[in-house]
Structure 1
Amino acid sequence: MKTTMRATAVVDSARRTLGPVGVCLPVSSTATASVGEERAGVRQLEHAGYRAAWTNEVIGKDALTQLSVLLAATEQMAFGTCVATIWARPPQTTHAAAAYLAQAHPHRFTLGLGVGYRQQAESVGRGFGRPLATLRDYVTGMDNHTRPPAPEAAYPRILGANGPKMLQLAAEIADGALPAGQPPEHTARARQLLGPDKLLVVGQLVVVDDDHDRARARARQVVTTWSTSATFRAGLAELGYPAKESIQASDRVVDALVAHGGPDTIAAKVHAHLAAGADHVTLLLPLGTEFTPGIHQLTLVAPALTDLT
């Protein structure tokens, strides 16, 4: 009973702190933003009205170190990982680091975890194994005893999960899930699988551009990249978007997956996910977006979302 009550309190606290909408920090493919640029960027986002920002992690980039700096640079903004890769550190170390951040900044940190990719496991000399079993073992191992023990500080753990089996695992062993790149129909299905008491954070692909044709073309490029994954195509097919449409990046698929255009168009897609059962929607700019221009794009969208934040 105590464990259930604690988990409910963690989810309720996260819902209040994160609010309905946030942003994922832009991910450049050419350079890493300096600490000064990142501090200035998150302060700009906080001033624009966003209550939460998320960051990615790959082998070679420590998201928890990054967020320790950004948490200290802001007053109230919440931060999360979307997602921290399990191959970056041992499970007990991940828990200790997350609990340390939660102790230093109560109610402002959410840990999103993901099994990542086979190449990430191989890059650190590990076997990828079976994703569900691998992630289950990792999350279970986070609570193994260490000496000295991790700080006694609560924080939500959510799993990067698109497929039904991974969503079911999130419902069983975590505080919620973080699917990304999916239409609102998927959000409704995710909520059904998770139940009402779990945290559902949704990553929404966005292209911010008032030029309709240019926005559509860039959004189509985003879909083309994502649809190279057979798993991604199969998931969309279950939602009524045949693999052929995904591969061709049809207008119907592009419109379903990517909010592209001006602020009002993007806000409408956020509303659709919230209506479908999401607790929080985080905006994902295309990979390769340079940091400072990306922050500017996200601030342009903020006024259309002020009724949510």
Structure 2
Amino acid sequence: MGSSTVVDAARRALGPVGIALPASLADPIDIDGQREAVVRLERAGYRAVWTNEVVGGKDALVQLAVLLAATRRTVFGTGIANIWAREPETLHGAASVLAQAYPGRFVLGVGVGYAQQAAATGREFGSPLSRMRDYLDRMHGPTMPPAPDAPYARIVAANGPKMLALAGELADGALPAGGPPAFTARARQVLGPDRLLVIGLSMVPGADPVRARQIARERVAAGLAQAWFAAAVARLGFTGQEIAEVSDRLVDTMIAHGDPAAIAAKVVEHLAAGADHVALLPPIGTDFATSVDQAEWLAPALRDLH
């Protein structure tokens, strides 16, 4: 069960908006570049920075240990730590050490990932819901030695109603991503008022609104090529024609795009719909330096939300 004390502390620490470091599936992590980036982001006024994890290539908890040490105030979160990357007892132990070393500056997001990631570790993906329930249950199993007694918020990547319900039952909250404000409202309804709701909001920053919307449209179209995503969009009330045409309304609802004011306005929509915190997600594969420059460009508009 989640703790109201932990949830309240995480809400205060995270603030209303944060940013994810740009991720690449093709290039190795440049830890020196990341250290420099998070110092710049802290200086720009971001209170929270999020990082990703697949399986292999890097360890999200080791990465955060380096970045926490490089900064003074920034809160870091995993979006997400992949359950196939390590045993649940090991994840809890590592998370507890970070929470003990950097009190109030760490939020653990954990997710079930994808079937190919399970296969990469020689395991069957099975039922995502059952896998996540078992993983969360085992996180606090007995170990020798025991993990440090240091509190941290634990949230679950959850885009479906059953996973959201599980997050509300066994964790401190949820981290859905890729949905419109209407989905945020539904997620809040499922979780109730006492759980932490962090929303991953895809964004395409750009001074040229036409170009930014076109890139956003391409991202939505790529998502709609996946049957589960198309079905989820249909359940949100978009017509078959809007989905087939990737309409402006669909694009504008799903992805924050354009100048800083437009990005901030979309963040506000999700906060009004019930989000505690919105984590802005740059496109995967975006040039790292360019993405950090864009984050600094957005920062003044986002600081006004604090």
TM over 0.5: yes
- Whether the 8 Å contact between 1:227 and 1:233 is mirrored in structure 2 is yes
Alpha-carbon shift at residue 29 of structure 1 (Å): 4.2
Q: Residue 79 of structure 1 corresponds to which residue in structure 2?
A: 76
Q: Residue 24 of structure 2 corresponds to which residue in structure 1?
A: 28
Q: How does 1:81-100 map to 2 (within 5 A)?
A: 81-100=78-97
Q: How does 1:1-309 map to 2 (within 5 A)?
A: 7-60=3-56, 61-242=58-239, 245-309=242-306
TM-score (norm 1): 0.96
TM-score (norm 2): 0.97
Whole-angstrom CA distance in 1 between matches of 2:259 and 2:233:
25
Secondary structure of the structure 1 residue equivalent to 2:84: coil
CA deviation profile, 1:67-111 (whole Å, cap 9, x unmatched):
010001000100001111100000100000000100000011111
Secondary structure of the structure 1 residue equivalent to 2:85: coil
Q: Give the root-mean-square deviation of aligned CA atoms.
A: 1.2
Structure 1's unaligned 5+ residue stretches are: none
- Whether the 8 Å contact between 1:26 and 1:294 is mirrored in structure 2 is yes
Q: Which moved more, 1:228-237 or 1:289-298?
A: 228-237
Whole-angstrom CA distance in 2 between matches of 1:237 and 1:210:
31
Structure 2's unaligned 5+ residue stretches are: none
- Whether the 8 Å contact between 1:157 and 1:176 is mirrored in structure 2 is yes
CA deviation profile, 1:184-236 (whole Å, cap 9, x unmatched):
00001100100000000001111010112211111011112222222222222
Secondary structure of the structure 1 residue equivalent to 2:50: strand
C-alpha spacing 1:247/1:37, structure 2 compared with 1 (3 Å): farther
State percent identity of aligned pairs. 57
Instruction: State the number of aligned residues.
Output: 305
